[in-house]
Every structure is written in C-alpha cells, then in structure tokens.
Structure 1
C-alpha cells in the first residue's frame, strides 16, 4: 500500500506517510521509513502474496456477501468473485495498484475469452497484449485509469509492460529478478526447482542448493540491513516483527524452506513466481485465472470497485452493519496503536452480524491483544485453532501467522 506520482490524487503521499512514518524524520529509523516510502512510490506487487484459497476458506462467505479488502496486486480481489459476493470493495493507498486492479476487472468484463485473459495476466508477456488492450479493454476503463495505462514511461506506454513481462515489473518483480541473478552468481539456477516432481525432490533441492547460500557471509551481512527487504514490501517496523530475536538469514531460511518444499510445485504458484519469475505455461494459477472459474469471474467482475483510500476511512464511511468480511493482508504490522484502534473502531462499526476479519503477520502471534482497546476487541472472537490450521495451508508460506476474528452475537 503506497502512494505514487503520475496518476495519483492530491494527498496520496500523505496517505502513505501516515501509514509508514512512525519516527522523527532525521532519526535513523525515520530515514529508513522515508526511504521505504520512496521505494514504495511506484508499482510494487503485480501478484499479491496472500493465498486467496485460504482467505475463502477462512471467510466462509455466503452468496451476496459484501467484502472489503486491501487490493494490492488484485489476485485476491478477483479470486473472491468465485464465492459469488454481491460486492467487493477494494482499497489501496498505491494508485499504481488501483490502476492494475481496475485493469484486471475491466479485462475480465471485456476480453473475448479465457485464452485472451490468460495471455494478459497469466503469461503477462506477449507481443499482442497491447493490441488486446486497444481492441477490447480500454473502452471499459474510466478516463483516469485509461490515462495511466496509455501514459508514457521510459519504454513507451505503460501497457507495454504486458509485453516486457508483467511479473518482472514493480518493486517485487525486480527484487525477484535480482535475487535470481545473485543466486546464479553462486552457481544456482533457482528455476531448476520447477523440474522437481515430488516434494522430496524439492526438499533436496532446497537443502543442497538454496539453503547453503544463506550461510554466505555477504548474504548474511546484506540481510541484516533493513533496507535489504524493501523489495519484498517490508517496511522497517515489519522487519523487526519478522526477525524477532533471530538473524534475518535464519528467518529467511525457514520461510523459503516452506515456500520451496511445503507444497508440490504443481500446486504452488507462489513458488513458481519466487523461483521462476512467473507462472508455469500450464499453471498452477490463482483462482481468478483458472479456466473453470472464467465464467464466474467474467460475469461478476462489475461487482468490484477499486478506490484509492485507506481501509479506515472507507469503512468509517460505510453504512453501519453493511460489511460481511474484511481482508487486511499484513497492513497491521505497519500500524501504531492509534492506527490499530482507529481501524478496528471503523471495522466494528461497519461489520454485519457474524462478520469475519482476516489478516497475516510477520510474527506468529496475533498482534491485537493489549493494543486494541478491550471494549472494541471484546466484541470479537479469535478463532485460534482455525487460524493455525489455515496458516499451515497457506501456500505463500512467507508469513509467521494467519488470523481470523469473528464478530460475536
């Protein structure tokens, strides 16, 4: 969640600063926070790193539900359409993410078939993608979003990133490319993990090829620097929560190990993105890109609205009792106690009876007790066992905890 430059509305930079800046500007932490804000000012995530299948299992949505979700790259927002909601309210402080998710929704409505949709957002790199956009999608966009994709960059129109490779774009995409390049300098081609046919083969690849790199002196030195993980979208405050009392290289070994060998490669598109820089030609894919979900996604794409606003402000403006589910991704790891109380006050006001809230954390434990006022948090039930079970099922494997709260009564 961040603010951008071209295409941004007035005040976007203030929105991001309010979310990230927690320290004095000239302090060491303050300088890191502002460096992160600068790094986060463009497109960050072309693909979201939360597993929408886990989200849907946790939310237990009924047809006709209203969902409010932080948008990020939009894979979650688009995948929620498979549950037949009445409305998906997507919000993000980063106008580049807003433009991407609006493009995905418009493309689902206007492209002629699933093959065309998969060409744009599955492979993300095809010479005919701009022509598809011109012929079908552009007329279905609002003027601001159309201006964004047809606006100039150093390589021409922004829609050209769907020729250059969508999943090599943005802060995360470039981070993955650099990490894979660095691995090759150590003699390891990470993409070779795609040839593994069993989880045991994946585990051997990780233990013999990937894990030893994390013992390299240079790698350990780099990962001790908070700025080293900006490319993963991890701000300074979240770095501390992720590391805890351990060296970051050891935390990364644990999380990468689960990503590399916690699930079969044939099922884990997050591992494909991390180690191969994109989806496999024949998948696996997120739910919204799967052929069996095409008709549902296409027919319901007009139920998605995307707004450049904070979740707190959006829910504060919602009708009381109107929202059945709230998806916060890992945004609360960034928040001060004041921000946490503000967002949970807004959530509680907007929540319908039995509403559920889900979020992820860099650390293992839920972060709300002792920080959110008890009169607010006491209205919610923490589903500890279900949270732990679904955390184990989360294929993205990079978070320490997954958490579900349900409104009592």
Structure 2
C-alpha cells in the first residue's frame, strides 16, 4: 500500500492554501460525536481539528502533508497554549491589537521549521495570519473587486441582517439575485479562475460539469434557507472577518476546553496514507475534509480500505464532496455503513455552502 497521497504528485505545496478551515465544524462534530474518541483529522489550517478537541476527543492527530499548513496548525496550537482568548483572536487577525509581542510569546512553542517559516513572513503576522492563504486572497479579490460591481456595501450589510425565512427569500429574489450577480459569479467561480486564483488547477482533475453552476445553487441555499446573519464563512467572504458569528473553534465557550486539553493534540506532517500504514493504533473517528475530491476512484477505494483496517468497530468517517462525487462503494457495504439520513440532515445545515454533499459513514 502506498504511503504517499496522489495529490502530492500533482499539486504544489509551497504556500499556505488555507489560512482558515472552510468546512463547517458544527456539522462535523455532530457527525463524528468525538467525545472519548481517538480522532484523526485532516489538518488544513487546524480549526476543525481543534473543534474535535473542544468536544471531548480523547486524542486528536492532525495529519497534514503541506509543511506551510503545518506551520498554520502549529501557530494556532501555540496560541491556544500561551494566550488569553482575546489575545488569541488578536493574533489571528479577528480583533485589532499589537500582534508581534503575541507572536514572540508563541514562538518558543514552534518547531524550527515553522518558526523559520513565520519569521520570514512577519508582515503576515502583523496584519493577522488568518488573512493570508491563497483561498483567502481569492475571496479578498471577490470582496474588493467583484462585489462592488454588483452590490453596494449598504446592500451587503442588509444581506447580513437578521431576517425570517420569507424575508430572506424575498430579499434574494428581489434585491440580490440580479443578472449582474449571476454573470460575475459564474465568471469568478469558473473552473479556470478558481483553479488559477483559489485552488490548484490539479484539484479539478476529477471534476465534471460546470463548477460555477453548482456553487451558485448552493449559495442560493445559504442566502435563503440558512441565515446569512449567523454564517461565519459568508461573513468572512463578504467582510474579511467573522465579526459576531465565529466558527466553532474560535468561540469563547470552546477556548478554555481546547487550552486545557492541548496536550492531547498532536500534528503529523505526512500523508494520511503513511499514518495508516503504521498498523499499531486503531482510530475511532476521521475528519477527512474533502481529500477524496483530489484522487481517482481507484485510489479513493484503496484509502477507504486502509481506513477501515485502521479503525475500531463503530468508527465514524465524515467528508465533503464539492464537485467530484465520492462515497462508499456498494461492494464495501460489509465493512462500511452509509448513514444517508444523518448525512442529508447535516448537509442541509452546512454553513460552508460550496459543498454539494456531506457524507457520514460508520465502520462495521
């Protein structure tokens, strides 16, 4: 069994792709029920791995093959360990304040590689490091260059005001959903533009059909069926900060739990496939982000087999489909049980609205 991930062979990992996690941790923790479980979590920027810790996981391993993403996770871990809640939000960039002294206090917790990485990017530290991933820069371009061509800041603020479901639908139909919105949205979220500015083009190798059409449909759901007022991801895209609606790992009620249990959190800088070939440990829960999006059906199946072999009975898997459909093959039904009702129920609540499906499965 390969210890390498397919995406390693095709994508570049020389920059921070995600300075925040762009999957909804609220539905993730509902799916995985992490309390008392030994959890494996795709690292990304770290937030959702820390959310598992906040919900009582016995242990969390954040596994991440991109060294720049490891640096993001390490700095967050150091901040949870060293800072107060307000200082933590200041260092991230969510609140105003002096960040360099806070970074200095965290620096002793960093590995040599991560310290060298951040020391060469002090301007990003000074302005708040959660602003400076490739995906965040993509949304910044959307916020600063595209949205002003469609809607005024006053109208954006009106979108984010608290409304009833009928009021949200009326606002979307009568105010927001203009021809200019649809045209520029379809251009900006096309495969070409998103591949060049937001994600690596190789991430679309297994995607068929129109990227923008699917995301536009999910965006309508987020702006009508769900409340924009309570959506941290939408707020960040439109305002450049979370404001009064923070994602799970950044909420004050979860901060002290994460801090008190930070010794249960470890980071593995390698592919998931490598971690699973260890064979010495069995796991109870897997946050798999959207990693299956970037691999062939053959490699997807091989990794599912690895996960099942490395799991205790009853272990939960949770993962997202954005554009490439992936879920348990029927001939693996004796090893892995689909939970379609729970999956659909949680997907309807998903505030990170660009995903087409949320999948929850359980090892038999």
Report if aligned partners of 1:106, 1:137 keep a CA contact under 8 Å in 2.
yes
Distance change in 2, residues 1:146/1:278 (3 Å)? same
Between the aligned partners of 1:250 and 1:141, the Cα distance in structure 2 is 42
Q: Deviations over 1:37-65 (max 9, x none)?
A: 34x631111111111111111112232x2
Shift of 1:206: 3.7
Higher RCO (C-alpha 8 Å, min separation 6): 2
Q: Does 1:368 align with 2:333?
A: no
How many angstroms apart in 1 are the aligned matches of 2:110 and 2:191? 41
Contact 1:366–1:401 (8 Å) recurs in 2: no
Please state how far the C-alpha of 1:73 moved relative to its aligned partner: 1.4
Consecutive unaligned residues of structure 2, counting only runs of 5 or more, are none
TM normalised by structure 1 equals 0.79
- Counterpart among 81, 85, 109 of residue 81 in structure 2: 109
- Counterpart position of 2:162: 197
The answer for the alignment partner of 2:285 in structure 1 is 325
Q: How far apart, CA to CA, are the structure 2 residues paired with 1:359 and 1:174? A: 25
Partner of 1:262: 225
The answer to whether structure 1 residue 49 and structure 2 residue 22 are counterparts is yes
Match of 1:132 among 60, 77, 102: 102
**Residue of structure 1 in register with 2:347 after alignment:** 391
Match of 2:138 among 175, 181, 185: 175
Residue 29 of structure 1 corresponds to: none
Residues 347-396 of structure 1: CA deviation (Å, up to 9, x unaligned): 112101211111111259643326xxx3x552111111111111111111
Of the candidates 90, 96, 99, which is equivalent to residue 119 of structure 1? 90
Shifted more, 219-228 versus 77-86: the winner is: 219-228
* 1:166-203 deviations in Å (ceiling 9; x for gaps): 34311111111111212213454474246522155544
Distance 1:95 1:46, change over 3 A: same
Aligned CA RMSD, in angstroms, stands at: 2.7
Cα shift at 1:238? 3.8
Cα distance between partner residues in 1 of 2:97 and 2:276: 41
Unaligned runs of 5+ in 1: 1-13, 22-33, 153-157
1:312 aligned to which of 273, 277, 285: 273
Q: 2:296 aligns with which of 320, 333, 336?
A: 336
Identify if the C-alpha distance between structure 1 residues 338 and 298 changes in structure 2 by more than 3 Å, giving closer, same or farther.
same
For 1:220 and 1:394, how far apart are their aligned partners in 2? 22
In structure 2, the CA distance between the partners of 1:108 and 1:225, relative to structure 1 (3 Å rule), is closer
User: Distance between the aligned counterparts of 1:138 and 1:290, measured in 2?
Assistant: 23
1:285 aligns with 2:241: no
Aligned to 1:27: none
Q: Aligned ranges for residues 153-164 of structure 1 at < 5 Å?
A: 158-164=121-127
Give me the whole-angstrom Cα distance separating, in 2, the residues matched to 1:118 and 1:237.
31
2:149 alignment partner in structure 1: 185
1:405 matched to 2:361? The reply is yes
What is the CA–CA distance in structure 1 between the aligned matches of 2:351 and 2:185, rounded to whole Å?
25
TM-score (ref. length: structure 2): 0.88
SS of equivalent to 1:284: coil
2:338 aligned partner: 382
Summarize the Cα distance change of 1:291–1:307 in structure 2 as closer, same or farther, 3 Å threshold. Answer: same
- CA–CA separation in structure 2 for the residues paired with 1:114 and 1:168: 19
Distance 2:199 2:190 in 1: 16
Determine if contact 1:270/1:396 at 8 Å carries over to the other structure: yes
CA contact (8 A) 1:47 1:167 kept: yes
**What are the superposed Cα offsets for residues 252-311 of structure 1, whole Å, 9 maximum, x if unpaired?**
32122123333223421111112112111xx21122221112220111122211122111
Contact 1:54 1:393 in 2 (8 A): yes
Structure 1 match to 2:117: 148
Aligned twin of 1:97? 69
Preserved CA contact (<8 Å) 1:226 1:236:
no
How many pairs are equivalent?
358
